[in-house]
Amino acid sequence: MGLEEEIEEIEEEIANTPYNKSTEAHIGRLKSKLAEKKEKLENQSSAGGGTGYSVEKTGDATVALVGFPSVGKSSLLNALTNAESETGEYEFTTLDVNPGMCKHRGANIQILDVPGLIEGAATGKGDGKQVLSVVRNADLIVFVLSVFEIEQYDRLQEELYDINVRVDQEPPRVTVRPKHKDGIKITSSADQDLDEETIKDVLRDQGYVNADVNLGEKVDIDRLIDGLMENREYIPSIACVNKVDLINPDYKAEVDEQLRERGLDPREVTFISAEAEKGLEALKDRMWESLGLIRVYMDKPGRGVDWEEPLVLREGSTIEDAVSKLGGEFEERFRFARVSGPSATHDEQQVGDQHVLEDEDVLKLILRR
Ligand SMILES: Nc1nc2c(ncn2[C@@H]2O[C@H](COP(=O)(O)OP(=O)(O)O)[C@@H](O)[C@H]2O)c(=O)[nH]1
Ligand SMILES: [Mg+2]
């Protein structure tokens, strides 16, 4: 029996086993075995001939557009960036990943138009899963939905889960420290519903014989396994609804309802028209916020503040991070900094390298001669 058949068989058994306390341990082992076999399969397929779809990450952050064919991903990419992505009246126009660069609030945001599994499978061209796996490197996923096909959201979520992308989840707080003896010891800072034996079984299936395990949250079997596997990516997401130029205002309530059914708050979803170029600024703002980017304006000796090309950093970045991004002599000769703006108590506050910067700070670096 091939790996793929084995996987199918286990998936079937999981689907057919009702979940309760008496089957929990069994399901735990099945899921654990499944994770292991899927990883093996993944390693096999990526070993042969590379992916061919890798896109080099450039700019301050990378955003992946994920959606079904014909929802308007390529149109959106073109509207947001300088890229010329092929668009068409018919489905399956995009067979490779198209990158483009979007400039917003001084940041260069790389945008990838990612065709999904559906395209690859439907056309037989390319391996959809491999194309979709480009998403794994993104800092943010933007789900693109057509205003008439909100239900596609469910399937997109499933596909991402399938390639080990965990959308809008924090990494599980599970730490494992292997030891040389004494078996598996579990400590937990939360009450667990899972039996200790189930947890131990899962760990043993993952190859641990002796280990200290700490659970910093209440985990179910899936979260526990995620916490033990290294090939999971945890990526935030936002959603946008495209082609709103095609509906009349009455229909909006219907769309809102469909979004709510899927746990999406309509107020947090951006309604756009890629074609009519509507809602694009709002979408860029949302991308910026979800990426957690901040701008820091450099006050350069003798030249004043550069308001045009800010240094773009992640929320929570320190002076040290800023200096390290600037590199070169800034890193070698840094003494201290003067900060004005949101993070400063007063103008030109003198701070050290551990000071945390905020959006729209003005930063002056004092260097050694
Ligand atoms: N009316 C309308 N049509 C759109 C909009 N965005 C895209 N389209 C059309 O939808 C079709 C598919 O668009 P495309 O960008 O190729 O979709 P993709 O397959 O997701 O990349 C094309 O005919 C586009 O012109 C929009 O906002 N409004
Ligand atoms: Mg396309």
pLDDT at 236: 97
Q: What share of the chain is helix, strand, coil (3-state, %, to 5)?
A: 35, 25, 40
Residue that is last in its domain, among 231, 261, 276: 231
Ligand 1 mutation target, pool 87, 111, 152, 255, most atoms within 8 A of CB: 87
Find the 84 Cα to ligand 2 centroid distance in Å: 11
Q: Hey, what amino acid is at 267?
A: R
Residues 274, 149, 116: CA angle, nearest 5 degrees = 75
Both 199 and 74 in one domain: the answer is no
CATH number of the domain bearing residue 132: 3.40.50.300
Report the number of distinct structural domains present in the chain.
Answer: 3
Query: Which stretch of 43-52, 131-140, 156-165 has the lowest confidence by average pLDDT?
Result: 43-52
| Domain boundary residue, one of 259, 291, 323 | 291
Between the CA of 172 and the centroid of ligand 1 the distance, in Å, is: 38
Query: pLDDT for 169-197, tens place per residue?
Result: 999 999 999 999 899 999 999 999 999 99
pLDDT of residue 86: 56
**How large a percentage of the chain has pLDDT more than 90?**
66
HSE-up of 157 (CA within 13 Å, CB side)?
15
Do residues 120 and 247 share a domain? yes
Domain assignment present for residue 147? The answer is yes
> What are 235's two structure tokens?
């990526």
With a Cβ cut-off of 6 Å, ligand 1 is lined by 67, 69-75, 87-89, 93-94, 242-243, 245-246, 273-275
What is the residue range of 200's domain?
3-49+172-231
DSSP 8-state secondary structure symbol assigned to residue 70: T
The pairing of strands 293-300 and 311-314 is antiparallel
pLDDT at 119 > cutoff 60: no
Beta bridge partners of 125: none
CATH of the domain at 353: 3.10.20.30
Q: Identify the band that residue 89 occupies on the pLDDT scale cut at 50, 70 and 90.
A: very low
User: Residue 85's pLDDT band (boundaries 50, 70, 90)?
Assistant: low
